[in-house]
Structure 1
Amino acid sequence: MSPTPPVLALPATSDALNARLVDGLEAVDALLRREVDHEDPFIAGANIHLAEAGGKRFRPLLTLLASEVGSGVNDDVVAAATGVELTHLASLYHDDVMDEADVRRGAPSANAKYDNSTAILVGDLLFGTASSIIADLGPEAVKIQARTFIRLCAGQIRDTRRAPAGADAIDYYLQVLADKTGVLIATAARYGAMFSGCDAATTETLREYGERLGMAFQLADDLIDIASDPEDTGKTPGTDLREGKRTLPVLYALASTDPADARLQELLLSETQDDATVAEALALLRVHPAMERAQERTNAVAAEATAALAGLPDSEAKAALAALATSVVTRVG
């Protein structure tokens, strides 16, 4: 496996806390590597492919950081963080099939490296591995994992569909984000609190924080998909446009009544999203007020995550969680 990725920039983190988080992530990576190993070398290689491609390990980092609100990292916290990361990785294998993307994290996507059937089955295998780890943490953890998985899948299904007639498209989209991304990040924070001895009220506070944080994380990803440089992110920009997804900037642009936006709206509504169409749409979107408006909404959701922490006693962990909410909406990849 590649070296443990650096912890996201957390200005409020002391050297001591940062060292504990790095040690915790190393323990997570070690457990993940053991769990995905397989007697069949092909399966072992397919299991580890996207993990070796890198990534920020954002979800296990959050589990470890949330545990600092309680008694800190222990074996159960590490196991829970590993289960969350494996669940996330499993979803990426399925995403690669759905997105038909060629690159993930600067490496060949799962469907490009293997084939669609293998990518789907490896995703299923990793979901099973995650569930096996979580099962050792008790029935409540299993129930949370199952409900998380249900919402995650429901969110992915709804993400491929338009808002129903009469529904507010932006409200619908934000609920999709809460399900497809927010819920797993909420579970990451919830597990960190649960397995470090936090009481029910504190655990619920961190769950609520995590869901808002997850929504902000995905909203930032949507902006990055439009504005990014592939050399910075390892992703092909415009993936959402190619799939016909109406992310927040697109929804704002489509709602415009300015006649000057007619060409952009025509491109966004086109049935054919070829390279030329996507490139022109990206160029117009990048300078459109919809991007600034979407960034403001993204910042507001991150502020809601921070506000959810208000009832917690002041601590270094609380300050770091607030800093994390800022980090997820100011990153470039």
Structure 2
Amino acid sequence: MQEALERIKKQCENLIKECQSAEIDELATHLSYGKMLRSKLLLSISGINEDSVNLCAIIELIQTASLLHDDVIDESSIRRGKPSINASFGNKNAIMLGDTLYSKAFYELTKFDTAIAQSVANAVVRLSIGEISDVRLSSSFNTDKNRYLQMCKDKTAALIVAAAECGALLKGLDAQKYRIYGENLGIAFQIVDDILDITQDSSILGKPNMSDFKEGKTTLPYIFLYEHLNDNDRQILLSYFAKELNDAQIQWLKTEMEKCGAITMSIEQVKKYASQSLESIKDENNQKLESIIMQMLKREF
């Protein structure tokens, strides 16, 4: 698998070079491709071949483009422990690099079967809608779990769904089973990230911890916390929303979360979606997909 992932990274570099822009080439040297979950997922379903590697490269370009735009929207200065493109080169360069990656990815997508192209294109529509929802939800403290989960389905799960579905289409398998697997995996993956933002320190996260709340993101643990606080403590929680917090305020949040079990309840939701994901492919006999779920559940909370 690792050799295949390196091939995908190399193909991403090749596709970017095909844009024939020295400026884009220079900016692209500062990109990183993270855990490449979507590629691992697609390859675990389709197997490793030229088509699957090329399709993974397209999906990685799209994922990278979405993160470039996301960092501009969130005014993030760090991405995977390094200065973000927008912090180093400005918002305009970050946005245009993202646009270039999107455009090149869609051009390459035209070389694939219509069903595959439509799957990925639809995922980008959902991803964009999810980003808008995320921005809207950040305008005030959100207490609605359903709105949070829908945002997770769109912003995070959509491209994971496409990776799973496309892997099945390349292999001639029942794509619907893998769509269900991907959506539940995507929701669980986002909740895990939201938990880790609270429980891990910045050296592990590659960004300041508890940055979600500071940015105005009401993730699942905060929703659970709100539900279990009395009226006076709810007002304290709301007064901390979308602000730079001092050590005492951060400690108050963590203490209250521990009292009500907000993290534990969130982990239970991760396990629920992981179980639903595995249930959808129980007859497919794919241990690699089961391993992806298990690895996610073993991340340090």
TM score, norm. by length of structure 1: 0.82
Question: How far has the Cα of 1:122 moved from its partner?
Answer: 1.0
Greater displacement, 274-283 / 286-295? 274-283
The SS at the match of 2:24 is: helix
Amino acid in structure 2 at the alignment position of 1:266: I
Q: Tell me if 1:276 matches 2:246.
A: yes
Say which of 10, 30, 33 aligns to 2:13: 33
1:96/1:109 contact within 8 Å kept: yes
Q: What residue is the counterpart of 1:8 in the other structure?
A: none
Paired with 1:241 and 1:147, the residues of 2 have a C-alpha distance of: 30
User: Whole-Å Cα distance in 2 between the matches of residues 96 and 285 of structure 1?
Assistant: 30
Within 2, Cα distance between the matches of 1:105 and 1:332? 17
- 2:213–2:241 Cα contact (<8 Å) kept: no
Shift of 1:264: 6.5
Amino acid at match of 2:5: L
Deviation at 1:110, TM superposition (A): 1.8
Q: 1:46 aligns with which of 27, 36, 42?
A: 27
CA distance in 1, matches of 2:268, 2:68: 31
For 1:101 and 1:224, how far apart are their aligned partners in 2?
Answer: 17
Contact 1:148–1:183 (CA<8 Å) still a contact in 2? yes
Q: Could you report, residue by residue, the CA deviation over 1:61-82 in whole angstroms, capped at 9, with x for unpaired residues?
A: 1111111xxxx22111111111
SS in 2 for 1:50: coil
Identity level (%): 31
Write the deviation string for residues 137-188 of structure 1: whole angstroms up to 9, x where unpaired.
132222222211111111111112249xxx9811121111011111100111
1:9 matched residue in structure 2: none
Q: Which has the higher contact order (CA 8 A, sep 6+)?
A: 1
* Equivalent in the alignment of 2:40: 61
> Who is 2:129 aligned against?
154
1-structure distance, mates of 2:74, 2:31: 15
Cα contact 1:213–1:302 (8 A) shared by 2? yes
Q: Say whether 1:84 aligns with 2:59.
A: yes
User: Cα deviation per residue 1:23-74 (whole Å; 9 max; x = unaligned)?
Assistant: 32122111111011254333112234222xx51111111111111xxxx221
User: CA shift at 1:268, angstroms?
Assistant: 4.0
Q: How many residues align?
A: 296
1:222-279 CA-partner distances (Å, limit 9, x unpaired): 00111111111212212210121111001011111447xx447513444560142863
Alignment correspondent of 2:75: 100
Moved more, 203-212 or 275-284: 275-284
Q: Which residue of 1 aligns with 2:290?
A: 322
**Residue 296 (1) aligns with residue 268 (2):** yes
Aligned to 1:220: 192
**Alignment partner, residue 3 of structure 1:** none
Q: Distance in 2 between matches of 1:309 and 1:294?
A: 24
State the shift of 1:216 in Å: 0.7
On the 8 A contact 2:61/2:101 being kept in 1, the answer is yes
Task: Tell me if structure 1 keeps the 8 A contact 2:134–2:217.
Answer: yes
Instruction: Return the alpha-carbon distance in structure 2 between the equivalents of residues 329 and 246 of structure 1.
Output: 22
| Partner of residue 110 from structure 1, selected from 82, 85, 89 | 85
Preserved contact between residue 127 and residue 159 of structure 2 (Cα < 8 Å): yes
SS of corresponding position for 1:287: helix
Residues 34 and 143 of structure 1: is their aligned pair in 2 closer, same or farther, counting only changes over 3 Å?
Answer: same
Residue identity matched to 2:227? A
Unmatched 5+ stretches in structure 2: none
Residues 85-116 of structure 1 show CA distances to partners (whole Å, capped at 9, x for unaligned) of 11110010011111112111011012111111
- 1:281 deviation in Å? 5.3
